[in-house]
Amino acid sequence: MSEPHEQGRIRMKHAILPLAAALVALGAFPGEERERISAGQAVEAAVAGEAPARLADGRMQQPIHWEPPPPSRFQQFIASIGYPGVQYYGMVIFEGGGGFSHYYRPVPADYLIGPGDEMMLRMWGKVDVREVLIVDPEGRVDLPHAGPLIIAGKRLSDAKKAIANAMSRVFTDFRMDVTITRLRTIEVIVTGEVRQPGLYRVGSGTGILQLLTMAGGVLPTGTMRDVQLLRGGQRIAGLDVYDLLMKGIEPSSGGIIDSDIVFVPQAGVQVAVVGGVKRPAIYELTAEKSLREIIALAGGLDFTSTGNPAVVHRLDDTGRLQGLEFPVDGGGYKPVHGDVVVIPEPFSAPARVVKIGGEVERPGSYPFVDGMRLSELVRQAKGLRSNAYLRGAEFFRASVKALQQERLDEAVRMLELRMTAEGPEIGSPDAAVQLQYRRELLSRLKNVRASGRVSIDLAGALERSGSAADITLEPGDTLVIPLVPSTVAVVG
């Protein structure tokens, strides 16, 4: 039973629209339902995203229940180096599911008329005409008193002009309005890197983005930058979802016809940008080549960012992790699929990296992984150079440095208290000299900084991987391997 009409509002199933919004939507309702609304009666209408869309043949297009996909291997890799929860940019647009109706969206002016479309022709003035026009299989409509007119293949705006011209040859002094009241059903194939590829029966006003949503969205392996509309084996149009999200450029939905194919190719180069940027996410690159352009894609630097240097975590050809540093505003960086670009932040935890320098093939910073050992760090740096001096290797640890500095500061404090308590011998001729010497000694000791150096057996670690000599690393550890000395010390 219909619900009562309320003054100033149109009541629909699942929602009550304010009058202004309802008037905007009213022009998109089928003719019979608009008449019921105008008469103050309720209609059983679907609100976007809440009910299946009705096709032109009366069947219901079932919406797809959207669920977030499991983490991809790239996301798992990003989480393993300390940045969990990083999402693919733009995937959120598919979270609404596919259950929104094309009936209650304005039909665009570039919509292509085809057999099965239903239109309402209204004329007033010296003539009063109210006629339902259905495009027949030959693409014609039968105009009252003017006869058949072919409009299939014309855009809606052009079809209106053609109808007006035809009617003006029969009538004068009239005004006219033509509206789409029912869209024809078409079949479109959605394939490629989507969650549910297949054949979809949809209204002819359905756009590429809506079809992707109905197919469950794009997979992490699919492109968001070059979705293709194919017709007869030829590319007709393309869609860059980033343009919609970043620039508000909405793709046209008027160009899809029966038997078209929406194809999602595999994604191109994908990199993750995390840390001090405004939109941390995984981004697919097209024209973006420099680090500056990639950071701009992520919204630019956040106010918390300390800027330089950016640390790029990357898997090399052997599958080993390496860490590379680049200036955020400079050159030298060439993106590689799977890069994780970390922009430093002062309020975030220090980057989980270990460093190696000196006589190795690839000195630099490398991502820390739990359980990582000394020999693994040397292997990631592509091994030793021929003139590496293992016995002179120096190993520094941040936690040891902090402990050493704490003990050194305590020793200096105790010495200062002792010197103050004893003081120089009163009346001694060199009392002033003693006092000056003690002050200089304390000053030098206070300026001594702990190094955090730890004694290691690098040769033993490399010969016996996993042994006690092959110590387990901590974030912030640094290994420096010097050259073989060219001099000989003679003592005794």
Which residues are registered as beta bridge partners of 55? none
* pLDDT the model gives residue 39: 42
- 202 and 185 in contact (C-beta within 8 Å)? yes
User: Phi then psi for 121, rounded to 5 degrees?
Assistant: -100, 125
Judge contact between 400 and 471, C-beta under 8 A.
no
Predicted confidence at residue 428, as pLDDT, reads: 62
pLDDT tens for the chain, 492 residues long, are 333 333 333 333 333 333 333 333 333 334 444 444 344 333 333 323 333 334 444 444 444 555 677 899 999 988 878 788 899 999 988 876 544 444 446 777 888 898 999 999 999 998 999 999 999 999 999 999 999 999 998 999 999 999 999 999 999 999 999 999 888 888 999 999 999 999 999 888 788 988 999 999 999 999 999 999 999 999 988 899 999 899 888 765 557 888 999 999 999 999 999 988 999 999 999 988 889 999 999 999 888 776 678 889 888 777 777 778 888 877 788 999 999 999 887 655 556 778 888 899 888 777 788 889 999 999 888 899 999 999 999 999 988 988 988 888 888 888 878 777 776 665 566 767 777 777 787 788 888 888 889 999 999 999 999 999 999 999 889 999 998 887 766 766
Backbone phi, then psi, for 187, in 5-degree steps?
-115, 125
> H/E element holding 334?
none
CA end-to-end distance (rounded Å), the chain: 112
Q: Tell me how far the alpha carbon of residue 323 is from its chain's centroid.
A: 22
Structural domains for the chain:
1-45 (no CATH), 118-182 (3.30.1950.10)
Look at residue 332 in the predicted model and tell me its pLDDT. Answer: 84
Res 247: pLDDT: 87
**Residue 101 corresponds to which tokens in the numbers above?**
């109706």
Q: How far apart are the C-alpha atoms of 7 and 5, rounded to whole Å?
A: 7
Residue 204 has a pLDDT of 82
For residue 52, the model assigns a pLDDT of 36
pLDDT confidence of residue 131: 94
- Global pTM reads 0.59
Short-list 240, 239, 242, 219, CA closest to 230:
239
- What is the DSSP pairing of strand 340-343 with strand 129-134? unpaired
